[in-house]
Chain A
């Protein structure tokens, strides 16, 4: 029981991070029909940004947090403006290659700026681990759960209650129809980019204390986040959350009870299973017509 709980806690910690990355994927896919293969690199930029601003420059944590998210969102804005918007014939394969090119480019930049060594960051607060039936829950995990939950609830309110959020949803359903009703669809797409990359930065920041941060950490995180998004049903906020937690927990249990060799394979086996049997994801209907 104690063992099981311990695996569950570590799985939920990872799962929360996958969930935030998945939310970023989903948001962007919803309003642009684009899968951003560079998303993992924005997560990496978030983590390394925190290393610089908090650990090296010595800013207070909240300030470093906000500045990093703003900086990475700014990079997302530039990415949309310079690379995605300028494509003359936006065929999906072309867009995929551009985002892959961007991910290599960003990784190269990060290697130049932060070097090839990995960096570490202390936890957000110096509390002792909480003891629940013999299993230890790290203080950083509590931070992660709180931040992830508040981000998702804020997003939900943004989509349901604010005019901008509703306009974004309208754009996601039909760009053309939204444009006809006077919604600046192009601006909504740009906003989706900024929010999605900002979300990536949040994931990077909260993961920084529990892992080593280096220029090549983004690829695997991005792919796992993507699997989580597909698992829950891409385009859905709650789906991303469920998919993320499910993936994290299954991964932790697989590593705990079988072997650590299969850790990375679990995500992709789940991805294949979900594609074959329920392409719409767990919570959506099996409809896959939007692809």
Chain B
């Protein structure tokens, strides 16, 4: 009961924060950055379910992001389909691909799984780049229309900000419900020991496949939102580096934590914006930050901050006790 109550309070506070932010921030650049944070949070949330809870690494998730973006782009521009009809198509396609790729790949584990997904991600990237007639090849795909529901248009940054963040809230609630369910407990047992999970009768293969498909669908949803927001997509946005960036968001934020995904996505989106000041040193500083965070806080920032607070509280309590 308390957990449900706590979750509800959290959801309400998120709604308030989103509402207030959208109301206060009028600068279109800031709104744009906040929207990108929302899209990246979706990516991190999806991958976090796979990596943080089920303990399965994927180095090719940008492929699903790309499938979402390209499917909706091609359907709504080349075939003149309404974007709202192309959304289910995009999600269906990514689910289908995730199923086909997942069945053999998820039998692998550890580094092998990482490599298998890496190979898949690279092949998807090469398809985006080389299938010129469909995807526009290396020069990209232009003119993806903005979204609208009847008279309500999402062409303005503010409306798009609200759209993206309501989707984020929806997915957060969905993830939280999965985690708190029987399925979530089974997933965590796979994370701790797959053999033990099998021994108590969990169909681990099936469960891993389900969560892989779920995370692929969330990534495709993010791709859909991304494509209609920027209206121009090119294969460079869905390459190996993007997959790595997604993994980094999850790990730097802190695995197995929804707030970690939010924090990681925000940091990795804001970092390049701040680093523009360094211009040529951007890559050097970015790489350094990745290394230093992982060396000092291998559990990720959320866990690191929590541990720090706990230690501080203990120390504080300790001195109190000493005084008495």
Contact = CB atoms under 8 A, between A and B. Distances in A.
Interface of A: 35, 83, 86-94, 96-98, 100-109, 111-112, 219, 223, 226-227, 230, 261-262, 264-265, 267-269, 271-272, 275-276, 279, 288, 291
A108 B248 contact: no
Q: Provide the main secondary structure of the chain B interface.
A: helix
Contacts of A261: 126, 130
Contacts of A262: 126, 130
A272 B286 contact: no
A257 B320 CA distance: 78
B24 interface: no
Contacts of B108: 275, 279
A264 B122 contact: yes
A219 B104 CA distance: 26
Given A87-B295, A88-B298, A223 B287 contact: no
Contacts of B281: 108, 112
A97 B282 contact: no
Interface string B277-290: 00011111111111
B280 A98 contact: no
18 contacts: A35-B111, A87-B294, A91-B298, A93-B57, A97-B252, A102-B291, A104-B286, A108-B281, A108-B284, A109-B284, A111-B280, A223-B240, A226-B115, A262-B126, A265-B123, A269-B119, A272-B105, A279-B112
Contact of B251 (A93, A264, A269): A93
A108 B282 contact: yes
Nearest to B107: A276
A119 B248 CA distance: 32
Interface string B148-165: 000000000000000000
Contacts of B22: none
B73 interface: no
Interface in B227-257: 240, 244, 247-248, 251-252
B114 interface: yes
B116 interface: yes
Nearest to B278: A108
B116 A272 contact: yes
A105 B288 contact: yes
Contacts of B252: 97
A35 B298 CA distance: 17
B120 interface: yes
